[in-house]
Amino acid sequence: MKKISPARLSQLLFLLLFLVLFVQTEYRGSDQLAAAVNSFFRADPLVAVTVLLAEKTMVWLVLPGLLLLGLSLVLGRFFCGWVCPLGTILDLVTPRIRKRGALPLLKGNLKYWLLLPLLGAALFDVNLAGLLDPLALLVRGLTFFFYPLFGDSARQVWVGLYRLLGDNRDYLAPGYALLRDHLLPFRETFYPLALLSTLLLVLIIVLERYESRNWCRNLCPLGTLLGIAARFSPLVRRPAGLCADCGACRQLCPTTFDQELLQREECILCLECQRRCPAQRVTFGFGRRPAGEPVFLQRRVLLGGLVSGFFLARVFRFRSPAAQARLLRPPGVTDEQRFLQSCVRCGECMKVCLKSALYPAIFESGAEGLYTPHLIPRLGYCEYNCTLCGQVCPTGAIPALPVEEKRRQVIGKAVFDKNQCLPFAKKTNCIVCEEHCPIPQKAIRSRTVAETTDDGRSVRLQVPYVVTELCNGCGICENVCPLEGKAGIEVFAVNDRSPLPAGGEPPPGGGEEGDPYGGAG
């Protein structure tokens, strides 16, 4: 067996860590998740830079990302060769893929044309970095596609066993419980955009047909950002170029040696050239940067990139009013604009959501909101005592709140649809929504009225109404409404998302009389 290189060892450990943290991003019996679950995003320099550009104030949560950027100024793009899990996956598959030679299309300044508009858009308040951030791409692919698929398959086998063995299956139950509690997703959730998320990952792998680490060296905006930092790094390789008598580096190096000279912004410091140089000539050390490195960014690209970011930010603004009325953001998000500035679309909140209430937006909040989380009550609801999404959000886009505060966060407001709701439309009792409303004082109440049905019977009917001042829009009412398809009560987005008052009772003047939807119908 070949001796494993330190870089490879580090890569494998980080990949393992990444997967462990991914699996751990789930409720496992304790209200508090280990703070570490989103460390990869917290340490992601692209996330850090775009969030800071968009918010224009210091966001302490992303400090690790800044530190990593600082470290890259000293050490270069080591992150790509030693840490990045997507890079590791590419390194693992690429030897099995026959190469066809680089695609000229991807060469040149393309990567800057990807990175700079992202930074430019962030500067103009639209943070699209997550669309192309490698960690986000990977987590989304896993969250939306592979993990649900994995969970569903495991579960199908388990259900199949029941069909086969009946109650005898119970002898195997402890084993399944172990899997379920530690490895599988608890709920099988299927997501929109799952296909797109996987396609992007597959595409990145397909690109390996042309050259190794194709994505990393020609497209990845995080890598490009780190590459820019690497330009300033005093860590240099000697010799700086290919030796006249050898040139083995061309074969050994996964990223930079398609030219004669080391491309510092592409060198991922895997140190393969040092390890396997036939003449043992290669060394890495701190020193002066070699003369003759090409200027790396023409002003044209820099300006053009940033300016197109500005246009990107504008063009992506279109939103459909109808979709927006139902655009419910996770608890604690009060300002849509700020949310779009800081959400990196990593998918962590959707992965962790206890009741599978959060889904990636497609165009509900305009193109700029692609992949941002929103709540779909008919599919899941926000669990009253749960605070997980705020805990895992790496940028504070969803604030991490103590549970008492989270309960009072307003996601939207519930409204009855009297054409659907049974007591109104059919004059039959129901109030499942009232039953489930978690607000201790009940935001859904009912009054008892004597009614005559359409066929002339007189009935004692419990007619529900919403106490709007108490409703936090958690969506459980809409979720549990026994009507098929469309519910008789629906949560709509509201502009004023200031938290409910502490203490429970509606403010004076509000309450039953003030309820706009309380009419007996």
Partner 1 sequence: MDRRSFLKGIGVASLLAEGLVRRLFAREIPVVAVSRDKDYRRAAVRAVDLLGGMKRFVKPGDVVVIKPNMGWDRTPAQAANTHPLVVRGLAEEALRVGAKKVKVFDRTCNDERRCYVQSGIAAALSGLDRVELKFIENERFHPVAIKGGTLKSWELYGEALSADVFINVPVAKHHGLTRLSLGLKNVMGVMGGNRGSIHRHIGPALADINSVLKSHLTVIDATRVLTAHGPQGGDPADVKVLDTVVASADIVAADAYATTLFGLKPEEIEVTVAAYRRGLGEMNLRRVRVVRG
Using the Cα atoms of residue 324, residue 122, residue 344 and residue 473 in order, give the sign of their dihedral: negative
Q: Which does 96 bind (CB under 5 to 8 A by kind): ligand SF4, partner 1, none?
A: none
Tokens of residue 183, six digits: 């490895």
Q: Which does 131 bind (CB under 5 to 8 A by kind): partner 1, ligand SF4, none?
A: none
Phi and psi at 450, nearest 5°, equal -90, 130
**CB of residue 466 vs partner 1: minimum separation in angstroms?**
14
Query: Could you give the C-alpha distances from 341 to 211, 296, 308, 398, in angstroms and in order?
Result: 35, 29, 18, 12
Binds ligand SF4 by CB under 6 A, chosen from 46, 354, 432, 481? 354
User: 3-state secondary structure string, 377-403?
Assistant: CCCCCCCCCCCHHHHHCCCCCCCCCCH
Nearer to ligand SF4 by Cβ, of 219 and 386: the residue is 386
**CB of residue 395 vs ligand SF4: minimum separation in angstroms?**
5
Q: Does 392 bind ligand SF4 (CB under 6 A)?
A: yes
Q: Does 83 bind ligand SF4 (CB under 6 A)?
A: no
Q: Does 51 bind ligand SF4 (CB under 6 A)?
A: no
CA 123/CA 127 separation, integer angstroms: 8
3 state SS of 102:
coil
Q: Within positions 150 to 189, which residues make up the interface with partner 1, using CB under 8 A? A: 159, 162-163, 167, 173, 186
Alpha-helical regions (H) of 219-271 = 221-230, 249-252
Q: Which does 347 bind (CB under 5 to 8 A by kind): ligand SF4, partner 1, none?
A: ligand SF4
**CB of residue 295 vs ligand SF4: minimum separation in angstroms?**
35
Residues 305/120, Cβ–Cβ less than 8 Å: yes
CA 356/CA 337 separation, integer angstroms: 24
Q: Does 347 bind ligand SF4 (CB under 6 A)?
A: yes
Residues 432/381, Cβ–Cβ less than 8 Å: no
Binds partner 1 by CB under 8 A, chosen from 343, 431, 463, 466? 431
Site string for ligand SF4, 53-82 (x = CB under 6 A): ------------------------------
Q: Does 234 bind partner 1 (CB under 8 A)?
A: no
Nearer to ligand SF4 by Cβ, of 282 and 343: the residue is 343
Q: Within positions 186 to 205, which residues make up the interface with partner 1, using CB under 8 A? A: 186
Q: Does 373 bind ligand SF4 (CB under 6 A)?
A: yes
Binds ligand SF4 by CB under 6 A, chosen from 393, 437, 476, 493? 393
Quickly list DSSP for 293-317: PPP---HHHHHHHHHHHHHHHHHTT
Nearer to ligand SF4 by Cβ, of 272 and 348: the residue is 348
3 state SS of 202:
helix
Nearer to ligand SF4 by Cβ, of 223 and 330: the residue is 330
Nearer to ligand SF4 by Cβ, of 64 and 347: the residue is 347
Q: Does 504 bind partner 1 (CB under 8 A)?
A: yes
Tokens of residue 381, six digits: 């609801």
Tokens of residue 225, six digits: 């950002």
CA 355/CA 376 separation, integer angstroms: 11
Tokens of residue 136, six digits: 């986000």
Q: Which does 163 bind (CB under 5 to 8 A by kind): partner 1, ligand SF4, none?
A: partner 1
Query: Could you give the C-alpha distances from 22 to 26, 132, 347, in angstroms and in order?
Result: 8, 19, 11
Q: Does 363 bind partner 1 (CB under 8 A)?
A: no
**Nearest CA to 92 among 199, 2, 201, 213?**
213
Q: Candidates 13-21, 191-199, 263-271, 382-390 — which segment interacts with partner 1 by CB under 8 A?
A: 382-390
**Nearest CA to 62 among 346, 370, 317, 350?**
346
Phi and psi at 177, nearest 5°, equal -60, -40
Q: Which does 435 bind (CB under 5 to 8 A by kind): ligand SF4, partner 1, none?
A: partner 1
Q: Which does 398 bind (CB under 5 to 8 A by kind): ligand SF4, partner 1, none?
A: ligand SF4
Q: Does 439 bind partner 1 (CB under 8 A)?
A: yes
CA 328/CA 478 separation, integer angstroms: 13
CA 395/CA 49 separation, integer angstroms: 11
| Binding site residues, ligand SF4, CB under 6 A | 330-331, 343-349, 352-355, 357-358, 372-373, 382-383, 386-389, 392-395, 397-398
The residues of the shown chain that bind partner 1, judged by CB under 8 A, are 27, 29, 159, 162-163, 167, 173, 186, 354-355, 383-386, 422, 428-432, 434-436, 438-442, 446, 457-460, 462, 480-482, 504
